[in-house]
Structure 1
Amino acid sequence: MTRHTTDYLRQRSSNLSLRNEAATNALSTSRLSSFANPSEFENESTISDAVKAFIVGDLARSGSVSLCDSCFRDIPKEKRTGTNIIIESDTQQCSVCNVLASKPEAFTEPFCKFLQENPTVFHSVGYFKEKLNALDYKELPARDDWSGKLKAGGKYYVTRNGTSLIGFTVGKAYKPGNGVAIIAGHIDALTAKLKPVSNKPTKAGYIQLGVAPYAGGLNETWWDRDLSIGGRVIVRDESGKTSSRLVQLDWPIARIPTLAPHFGVGMLGQQNKETEAVPIIGLDNSDISSSNAKPVEPLGPAGSFVATQPPRLVQLISQKLGIKDHTQIVNWELELFDLQPATVGGLDKEFIFAGRIDDKLCSWAAFQGLLASDANDDDGVIKLVALFDDEEIGSLLRQGARGNFLPSVIERAVESLCGEDKAFGPGILGQTYAQSFLVSADVTHAVNPNFLSRYLDGHAPRLNVGITIAADSNGHMTTDSVSTAILTRVAELSDCTPQVFQIRNDSRSGGTVGPMLSSAMGIKAADAGMAQLSMHSIRATCGSLDPGLGVKFFKGFLDKWEKVDAEWQ
């Protein structure tokens, strides 16, 4: 194994450098040679398998990447800029080949980086949009007319509210009325959001922050944690134009301090979340010491948004965004998040310890599966992944799964694809939904060794094994015998190991987006997701192979669904 920089490798007067030069100039060797006319590569925005895998695996963001000679030649110089390349003679050591082969271990590090770098739902959607754009997916603005803009073989995405996203590809052999292979999940997570007026009176020298729990945020797992702040900021510039900008602070700014047991009042999880779980974000002892600076005055006139927020926080956010006039901030949606990085752990590094695993795990894996999915000439279906906000609070808002986002996108896409050759209407839509299938992807409960009696025999999912098909007799899950058989067959064809889970009769089942979506559109559906420990804690645990096992299964579903559906009478 030899380490070289990319520039050094290109400058070598060896056969390798000559091959690299030929590949760069002609773009006609290796996997690109499969195109009928390689010279049309750039005009058609066709992306080689190696480039796709390079992007899917976030390899450009790695400090050092191992590539086989074939993949090195396939990936243009501009894609590799700033990446230290290690040339390997063994394709088993090639990072790109491992992504192409859906090897689970290839996705552990990218998933951990995703969790660390995208702490809020806004950042997550921004991350997915960046990858979609890099793979030449076209954005379809909801306000635009989509007529004539969609075609078989196309790749598209749509967003709503900056917090929900749908990406899809149209099969090259698609005909109006064909089905849609759908994976739907959620990217929101338990958190604590800043209140509309987050400024609070200083108490005993502490500057505190007004926050409200989102879903189960501010529970006891949030106490004594290193918390930072991030989200989106609404900014109006000097010309009067308004835009949304992402922000996150990179150090712990807030903490919810616990009370020592010596006081006789135990912190047992029953504390009042309005008065006894308030974060501290700074000190201000100006009331007892003249040497201390005077409190910062509000940074805007009475009635302005910034006048209702802690002045020093406004200053920090403004500095982060490069804003000099604080009153340009007209509003924001900021939240607390656990700053501790996602990390691998265990004797053999078989675990991932991280925040926001529920449900960044299934949503990230599903989207990676879409990006890595095949694009064969005989693909006749639409492959679609929908990631929703607000699942943790009932999906009742317009960006939630109970809204019209998913059916609206499917209906508008089918209408556009009908063109002038086929009349669009209820008949085509009914046919489309009847030939479709939904995987409701959400994390489920991994077996906890300290509470084995809480699990049913044969319903105890393990980490690093594979997807779990979840059922519930009271309709909290959308799984039935037909959909279970379908996903089991998908797993078989994709070399995946399925598990099953159902909660005990004396416990309460959680819910997913599956029942609301399948009932609204009338499509066959099943609930299936990866298992995790410590659900609804600020820090959770999954297997280090589980992100990659999820990618493998979800990609398998998107690629195999049409074949499996054809097996049914």
Structure 2
Amino acid sequence: MSAPSRFDRGHTDDLMTFLSASPTPYHAVANAAERLEKAGFRQVAETDAWDGTSGGRYVLRGGAIIAWYVPEGAAAHTPFRVVGAHTDSPNLRVKPRPDTGAHGWRQVAVEIYGGPLMNSWLDRDLGLAGRLSLRDGSTRLVNVDRPLLRVPQLAIHMDRNVTADGLKLDKQRHLQPVWGLGDTARDGDLIAFLEDEAGLARGEVTGWDLMTHSVEPPAYLGRDRELVAGPRMDNLLSVHAGTAALAAVATSGAGLPYIPVLAAFDHEETGSQSDTGADGPLLGTVLERSVFARGGSYEDRARAFAGTVCLSSDTGHAVHPNYAERHDPTHHPRVNGGPILKVNVNNRYATDGSGRAVFAAACEKADIPFQTFVSNNSMPCGTTIGPITAARHGISTVDIGVAILSMHSARELCGADDPHLLANALVAFLQP
């Protein structure tokens, strides 16, 4: 990967393409897998026996992907270098009985996923995408990427105090999108519509995992195009950077003292407790099977894990020009200032001093700056997959990311240079 430059926006252009093509975790991992396939990786099934030969492999499970590259001659006890991220973002997700409506409006029943900035979903043209489960046991991805749904806000004439008192939204009553007109809701209409969109026969879909997304594409912003506005940067920005870094390392031809890994999980926004979340066994199982496939013992597994380091990459908060008092007074991460190192002494982030040294070395090797983020002491601190990964697997973990504004909005904002800077840091970490 070339040295970063303000005028080298190829990586950021590609990120914008990735964001547009990945409205759901299922699409994100499919797109990451396609990029890794082009770099020589091949998919392996969890139900098959694995071999220990060199090369790139990946496992897909739902909205999660674990990919790794075994260098030629890697010993069974070779440690791993892991880039961790998550594929999910807060949004509105379709309920099991989606067809509803009132007063001549046809609506889709949705449930709130994670912690979205709910006002950012109002009066926005929304598409619908996700995973369809079919009668024969297979699945099919679907993406209606055009204006289909809208959550209309109440006119100010009927809420005269909204400007002074602030917008108050009831999650059940005020966020159900409209998608047409009709006196009554007809059960099965939405799924029948999606079967048509996916080219499936009526009645073929027996299950679904569907969610809304803004159809407005990512775009450069500002006089000098120094900023990027777009959806799902938290945390597809890191998934994209990790995928690019792993592919670059695997195709570099350089000797590797570690086994580089990308671990992108689902359900981080809701606590990571699922079979595809960071608090599940997926990562540990894959790493263990890699050790055993190369003829390793439990002792080799213990040695490999003891020498493993994970960079948990997730977006963080850039200093907000209108709310600077909400930030720590001596830690003001800026967009286009390079990736951020996240620190919290109460272990909301997993970074410690030795982890800081690992990340600092990677940034020094990549010749890029980095910044540090801590929360204002008077405000609660968010968390990531970092502490979960460290505690569940006994792996040294460091929390990092890119500073953005409007986190958890339907449309977030980052610096145009930072995605490339992050990817360069990850390359240097995976290939020390």
Task: Give the one of 140, 143, 154 matched to 2:44.
Answer: 140
Structure 1 residue ranges without an equivalent (≥5): 1-98, 288-294, 299-307, 561-569
- 1:265 Cα deviation from its structure 2 partner: 5.8
- Specify which structure has the higher proportion of helix: 1
Q: Deviations over 1:287-333 (max 9, x none)?
A: 5xxxxxxx78x5xxxxxxxxx43x1x33431221112x311111111
1:250 aligns with 2:132: no
Q: CA deviation at 1:269?
A: 3.9
- In our comparison, the structure showing a higher alpha carbon Rg is 1
1:531 to 388, 403, 408: 403
2:24 pairs with 1:120: yes
> Identity of counterpart residues, as a percentage?
30
Cα distance in 2 for partners of 1:255, 1:209 equals 10
CA–CA separation in structure 1 for the residues paired with 2:242 and 2:254: 23
**1:31-46 maps to which residues of 2 (within 5 A)?**
none
- For 2:387, what is the secondary structure of its paired residue? helix
Give, in whole Å, the separation in 1 of the partners of 2:257 and 2:206: 47
Question: CA offset at residue 145 of structure 1?
Answer: 1.4
**C-alpha displacement of 1:457:** 3.4
SS in 1 for 2:98: strand
Q: Residue 172 of structure 2 is aligned with which of 240, 251, 274?
A: 274
State the 1:114 CA deviation. Answer: 1.1
Structure 2 residue 429 is matched with structure 1 residue 552: no
- 1:230 to 2:93 alignment: no
CA distance in 1: counterparts of 2:79 and 2:215, whole angstroms: 42
* TM-score of the pair, normalised by structure 1: 0.72
**2:280 aligned partner:** 403
| Shift of residue 376, structure 1, vs aligned partner | 4.0
Q: Distance in 2 between matches of 1:109 and 1:378?
A: 30
Do the aligned partners of residues 519 and 314 (structure 1) sit closer, same or farther apart at CA in structure 2, a change above 3 Å counting?
A: closer
Q: Gaps spanning 5+ residues in structure 2: where?
A: none
Using CA pairs below 8 Å that are at least 6 residues apart, which structure has the higher relative contact order? 2
Deviation at 1:170, TM superposition (A): 1.1
Number of residues of Structure 1 aligned to a counterpart in Structure 2: 426
Tell me how far apart the structure 2 counterparts of residues 137 and 102 of structure 1 sit (CA, whole Å): 26
SS of structure 2 residue aligned to 1:387: strand
Taking structure 1 as reference, are residues 218 and 473 closer, same or farther at Cα in structure 2, changes over 3 Å only? closer
Which amino acid is 1:394 matched to? G
8 A contact 1:172–1:377 mirrored in 2 = no
Q: In the alignment, is the contact (CA less than 8 A) between 2:36 and 2:243 conserved in 1?
A: no
More strand by share: 2
State the Cα deviation string for residues 119-163 of structure 1 (Å, max 9, x = none).
1111111101111222221211011111xx2223x1110111x20
Write the distance in 2 (CA, Å) between the matches of 1:262 and 1:320. Answer: 38
Distance in 2, matches of 1:183 and 1:377, equals: 19
Q: How far apart, CA to CA, are the structure 1 residues paired with 2:346 and 2:87?
A: 25
SS at match of 2:210: strand
Q: Report the Cα offset of residue 412 of structure 1.
A: 0.3
- The yes-or-no answer on 1:260 pairing with 2:159 is no
For the residues of structure 1 that align with 2:319 and 2:2, how far apart are their CA atoms? 31
Does 1:466 find its partner at 2:334?
no
What is the distance in 2 between the residues matched to 1:557 and 1:454?
32
**Aligned equivalents of 1:135 and 1:168: distance in 2?**
12
TM-score normalised by structure 2 residue count? 0.95
Quick check: 2:335–2:415 contact (8 Å CA) kept in 1? Answer: yes
Query: Match for residue 67 of structure 2?
Result: 167
* TM-aligned CA deviation for residue 203 of structure 1: 1.5
- Aligned AA for 1:233? L
8 Å CA contact 1:172–1:380 kept in 2: the answer is no
| Stretch deviating more after TM superposition (378-387 or 475-484) | 378-387
3-state SS of 1:245 partner: strand
Distance 1:553 1:110 in 2: 17
Distance 1:344 1:377 in 2: 35
User: Whole-Å Cα distance in 2 between the matches of residues 266 and 335 of structure 1?
Assistant: 32
C-alpha deviation, 1:100, in angstroms: 5.0
Taking the aligned partners of 2:161 and 2:23, their CA distance within structure 1 comes to: 31
User: Counterpart of 1:442?
Assistant: 314
Q: Does 1:184 align with 2:84?
A: yes
**1:218, 1:273 within 8 Å by CA — same for their partners in 2?**
no
The CA distance in 2 between the partners of 1:433 and 1:393, in whole Å, is: 27
| Residue in structure 2 matching 1:199, options 90, 94, 99 | 99
Match of 1:358 among 218, 234, 247: 234
Task: Tell me, yes or no, if the aligned pair for 1:259 and 1:266 is still in contact at 8 Å.
Answer: no
